[in-house]
Structure formats: C-alpha cells, structure tokens
Structure 1
Amino acid sequence: MLNIVLLEPEIPANTGNIGRTCVATGSRLHLIEPLGFQINEKQLRRAGMDYWKDLDVTVYDNFADFLEKNPECQGKLYMATTKAKHVYTDVAFEEDAYIMFGKESAGIPEEILVEHEEFCVRIPMLENIRSLNLSNSVAIVLYEALRQQNFKQMQLLGELHRLHWKE
C-alpha cells in the first residue's frame, strides 16, 4: 500500500481532494501537524465528498513523531520538491513507498530536504512557475508509482452503456 504524507497542509480543499485520491487508489494518508484547518471543516468534507469516512488517515504531532511511528519508511520516504535534482519518473517506487509533500505556501523545509537529498524528486515544469497545486502534484506522483506497479488491484477496464436512440 502506498503512503501519501502531507507536512503541515494549509488548504482544506487540497487535503480533501488528496484524501479522495487516496481512497480511490487504496493509499494511506498521513497528516503532519500543524494543519491549517480542522479535520471536520466543511471545505475538507466537501472536497473529499462522501469518501472521507473510508479514508485510512493518521495525524501526527510533528515530523519527528511521524518518523518515530513509521520507522519502516526509512529508505523509501520520497520528498516532492521543486529543489530536487531528480525527476519523479526516475524513481522505482516500492509498493509501500512513502511520498511526502510540503505545505502549499513553502513546501518541505530545507533542513529536512538536506537530510534526505537522495530521496528528493521533482515534477518538471517551466522555469518561471513556482509550483503546481498540491492536490495535482500528489496525483501526478502517486499515479506514476501506481503505474510502475501495473495498477495492482485497480480496475483497469471500463464499460460504455450503449443507448438505443429512436429516429
């Protein structure tokens, strides 16, 4: 099971959208405080829709608390940042990888990135763009990890419902 880690997320709609994406992909969501909202906020529930109740989510007091309670993430904790030298498609994501994203206004603090530099990845974009929306960034990297695993246990085929039109 893949793990999405949000460090100090600030915008409830982004976190709600990410929660919905986690439910749709069977991924776990880890939220590291402080959060810029309350978990029960209306915007969070609206973005996550009725999926929030199905979300596997854990909240941590801080980054140290997250690391202490998830020792298995060592060596497979990837950090998405515009400061990375490696593109996210260069990584071979493990089935139980942890993919971390920073808060919307500032990303992941440099003191954390420096300690994990070899695990930092970036999404390519034009030079003058500060960053992508957080929920879009999570979806891009998460679906690459899922693609690498051949979308294991995910529904791959859809079906059109043929309508019969009268002339």
Structure 2
Amino acid sequence: MAHLNVVLHEPEIPANTGNIGRTCVATGTRLHLIEPLGFRLDEKSLKRAGMDYWNRLDVSTYIDYQDFLEKNPGAKIYYATTKAPRSYTDVSYEEDCYIMFGKESAGIPEDILYANQETAIRIPMIGGIRSLNLGNSAAIILYEALRQHGFDHMQAEGRLRNYQWK
C-alpha cells in the first residue's frame, strides 16, 4: 500500500492548510507542516476548512526545514514550484515519497530549489498566471501520485442511496 506525504513549507493561509488536511485524510496521506506558520493550529478557519476531519489527520510539525530533514532522513522529496523545468507528470512517485509545497506568497525558497533541482516539478499553466491555489496544486499532484499507485488503498466506486448502478 502506497503511503504518501504532503509537506507545506511555511504555509500562511489557514483555509488552504485546512483544505489540504482534508484531502490528506481522504487519501490516507500524511501532512507535514514546516514552521513558521502564518496561523495557529487551533484557529477556527483552519478547522472549518478541514471540517470534522481534522481530528483524523496524521500531521507532524517541524521548527524549520532543517528539522524536517533531520527527522525524515533519506526522504525522497519532490519540490512543487512554478519555477521548475519539468512537469509533475514526468515523475514516477515512489511509495512513501514526500511532495513539498511552498508558502502562498513566495513558494519554496530558491536555495532549496537549486539544491534539489533534479526533483523540482511544476504544474503546466498558460503564461502570465503566477500560480494556482495551494490546495488545488496539492490535490493535482497528490492524485497523480495516487493514480500511479493504482489508488491501491482507496474506495474505487461510490453508491447511490436509492438506486443500484447497472
């Protein structure tokens, strides 16, 4: 069973983090938050976006990027950024890999990207658009990684309440 990890490097907007947390719960993905955060973890807006799923979230926090690296030695990390030369679909996501996203106002610091350019990935967009919403970006890339693993631990079909599918 593929377990994946989403990492938010210094997220600033609680609603985005709450939304990503809900996506992580729905997919069995671990969430890692690298401080400083632009909010408190007990904020109402964070929990509202995560709805009643927040208490089921597997979440870890780190005092900084170095602390994250030290507590996750040997982690295969993909760095999602608008500055990367290759698409997120050009990668084969390993089981237990980490997909990192930067803060809403500035992304992942360029020194981190430069040091890890072989695993920097991007979501293609038309020119003149700065970036997608952080929650949308995390969902797009996470679901590609899950698709590559055949959604192996996820419910594959839904049910109607009053009818049976033919």
TM-score range, shorter chain: over 0.9
CA distance in 1, matches of 2:74, 2:154: 25
Residue 162 of structure 1, CA deviation: 3.2
1:113 maps to amino acid:
L
Query: Structure 1: which 5+ residue stretches go unaligned?
Result: none
User: How far 1:138 moved relative to its partner?
Assistant: 0.1
Structure 2, unpaired ranges of 5+ = none
1:15 aligns with 17
Specify the alignment match of 2:78 in structure 1.
Answer: 78
**Where does residue 96 of structure 1 map in the other structure?**
96
| Aligned match of 2:50 | 48
Cα offsets for 1:121-140 (capped at 9, x unmatched) = 00000110000000000000
Q: Which amino acid aligns with 1:111?
A: D
**2-side partners of 1:72 and 1:153: how far apart?**
24
Offset from partner CA, 1:30-61 (integer Å, 9 cap, x none): 00000000000000000001100000000000
**CA distance, structure 2, for counterparts of residue 113 and residue 126 of structure 1:** 22
CA distance in 1, matches of 2:14, 2:158: 31
**Deviation (angstroms), 1:94:** 0.5
Give the secondary-structure state (helix, strand or coil) at the position aligned to 1:72: coil
The code of the aligned residue for 1:30 comes to: H
2:27: which partner in 1?
25
TM-score, structure 2 as length reference: 0.95
Give the equivalent residue in structure 2 for 1:120. 120
Residue 77 of structure 2 aligns to which amino acid in structure 1? Answer: L
Q: Work out whether 1:6 is the aligned partner of 2:8.
A: yes
**1:35 aligned onto 2:37:** yes
Instruction: Find out whether 1:141 has 2:148 as its counterpart.
Output: no
Which whole-Å CA distance do the structure 2 matches of 1:36 and 1:22 have between them?
Answer: 20
SS of the counterpart of 1:52? Answer: helix
Counterparts of 1:139 and 1:120, CA distance in 2: 17
1:83-103 residue CA offsets vs partner (Å, 9 max, x unmatched): 101100000001111000000
C-alpha separation between the residues in 2 aligned to 1:72 and 1:54? Answer: 27
- Match for 2:119: what amino acid? F
TM-score, length of structure 1 as denominator length: 0.95
Q: Distance in 2 between matches of 1:40 and 1:159?
A: 35
Structure 2 partner of 1:156 = 156
Q: Displacement of 1:161 after TM fit? A: 2.8
**Inter-partner Cα distance in structure 2 for 1:153 and 1:117:** 31
Show the counterpart of 2:61.
59
SS of the equivalent of 1:146 reads helix
Give the alignment's Cα RMSD to 1 decimal.
0.7
